[in-house]
Amino acid sequence: MAQKKININTASLEELTSLPKIGDDRAQTLIDERPFDSWEEIDELPGFDETLVHDIQNGGGYLGEEEEWSEEEEWSEEEVE
């Protein structure tokens, strides 16, 4: 079954809460703080970290049609041991 893609910058609260480890509070934080230009901006939000950002990405979250493949490369280069 294909995974549903969810645009973090336009998704509803309900759509955001369908992402891994995103409840109402984190979803509302994403809504209040958007738009996001990079995953690093989300990583810096209270209650978010690099692991959670990876879970969101792996769960179908993306930053919109402008999201570049280089973002994923940046994350893999910065991964902590």
For the chain, the average pLDDT equals 84
Supply the pTM of this predicted model. 0.77
Sign of CA dihedral 54, 48, 71, 7: positive
- Domains of the chain, by residue range, sit at 6-78
Find the mean pLDDT for residues 69-81: 44
Residue 64 pLDDT: 79
What are the pLDDT digits (tens) for 18-32? 999 999 999 999 999
Largest CA distance in the chain: 34
What is the distance, to the nearest Å, from the Cα of residue 23 to the centroid of all Cα atoms in its chain?
A: 13
Q: What percent of the chain has pLDDT over 90?
A: 73
Query: What is the phi/psi pair of residue 45, to 5°?
Result: -70, 150
Question: Among the CATH numbers 1.10.1200.10, 1.20.120.550, 1.10.150.320, 3.40.50.360, which is that of 6-78?
Answer: 1.10.150.320
Find the mean pLDDT for residues 40-63: 96
Strand-pairing partners, residue 7, are 62
* Nearest alpha-carbon partner for 29 in 42, 38, 10, 14: 42
